[in-house]
Amino acid sequence: MTPSPRFDHLVAMTDQYGTFEHAEGAVARREHGYCVDDVARVLLVASREPRPPEAVRSLAQSSLSFVTESMGPRGEIRNRRATDGSWTTEPSTEDCWGRALWGLGTAAASGQFSVAATAHATFERGASQRSRYVRSMAFAVLGAAALLSVDAQNRLALALVSDAADMLPPLRNDNLWPWPEDRLYYANALLPDAMMAAGTVLERPELITRGVTLLTWLLTRETREGHLSVTPHGGAGPGDQGPGFDQQPIEVSTMADACARALTVERSARWLEGIRMADAWFDGDNDAQIVMWDPVTGGGFDGLLSDVANINEGAESTLALVSTRQQAFAHQTVTT
């Protein structure tokens, strides 16, 4: 039985501005400040909760304020913020922009009235921008697809998805390596997730098929002896056999999200198994048989090495744990 997601470590890592990026053990490293890359995902997971308690609603509200303040008048995002509240990086449309739109679109569709209207308006400001980076655009597609689920004719969201779809790369004509890049890099399952989302919104079945095909290949490649064996921090190419380490929790949560999306276009048991394996990865069903979260704090560990875990409980790894638990909890009645 999958436990419900825990937010206590995220709450402990959050102050009046936002959620700290790094931790030493379970203690926030305040000197490193905050980043939109993480705070936008706090907004995402807090907005996903169907019946959020007060602490989670507070996280959604504070994260929305952080993301809104990070956005410039033309929709770009300043990613990094110091503990005195000052912004320390210039506006851009890199991953922080895409993740901001992902969180904003999800919050706009959440039905949480305390955040939905502001998130909707802020999303539209950001959606006037475009990124030259395919993953940044893919993150933005996920937010646009969420917003379109409650505002189906939103012009800015539709235009963003259409432009992103043109950037999503075709599969290689290579059965052994159909992946559209020379190597697997980071957040890899994001690409097929965005393909399926864009194909559904635009009613382009060839995009959905491309996403399903690519995710099938990736899930097969990243399954070893019945458990997930995800691409390590350094990436992987056609000649790399694995398992590879240092494995990052973001790869696991991205896989769970993509498998959940695949279930909306293809009711296959393999996607339920993908979600189950992602959840089990955190509980020690992985290449090193090491539990990847702290049952005392609820925090996620930062990386899986060959014989030990990196036991720092940073925001990204904890968010990956929470996100994966959300998908597993939501789909457990189908698997039991």
Predicted TM-score (pTM) of this structure:
0.97
User: For residue 266, what are its two tokens?
Assistant: 């293809």
CA distance 141 to 127: 10
pLDDT digits (tens, 9 = 90+) for 300-331: 999 999 999 999 999 999 999 999 999 999 99
Query: What pLDDT shows up at residue 313?
Result: 98
Q: What is the pLDDT of residue 111?
A: 86
31/220 Cα distance (integer angstroms): 41
Cα–Cα nearest to 216, from 178, 244, 181: 178
Q: Three-class SS string for the chain?
A: CCCCCCCHHHHHCECCCCEECCEECCEECHHHCEEHHHHHHHHHHHHHCCCCCHHHHHHHHHHHHHHHHHECCCCCECCEECCCCCECCCCECCHHHHHHHHHHHHHHCCCCHHHHHHHHHHHHHHCCCCCCCHHHHHHHHHHHHHHHCCCCCCHHHHHHHHHHHHHCCCCCCCCCCCCCCCCECCCCCHHHHHHHHHHHHHCCHHHHHHHHHHHHHHHHHCEECCEECCCECCCECCCCCCCCCCECHHHHHHHHHHHHHHHHHCCCHHHHHHHHHHHHHHCCCCCCCCCCECCCCCCECCEECCCCEECCCCHHHHHHHHHHHHHHHHHHHHHC
User: Please, which residues have CB within 8 angstroms of residue 26's CB and are 6 or more apart in sequence?
Assistant: 9, 12, 294, 296, 297, 299, 313
Q: Which residues of the chain have pLDDT under 70?
A: 333-336
Q: What is the pLDDT of residue 254?
A: 98
pLDDT at residue 292, rounded to an integer:
98
The pLDDT assigned to 333 comes to 54
Longest pairwise C-alpha distance within the chain: 52
How far, CA to CA in Å, does 105 sit from each of 53, 99, 173, 182, 214? 21, 10, 34, 31, 25
Confidence (pLDDT) at 180: 97
Residue located via tokens 């110091």: 82
CB 329 within 8 A of CB 257: no
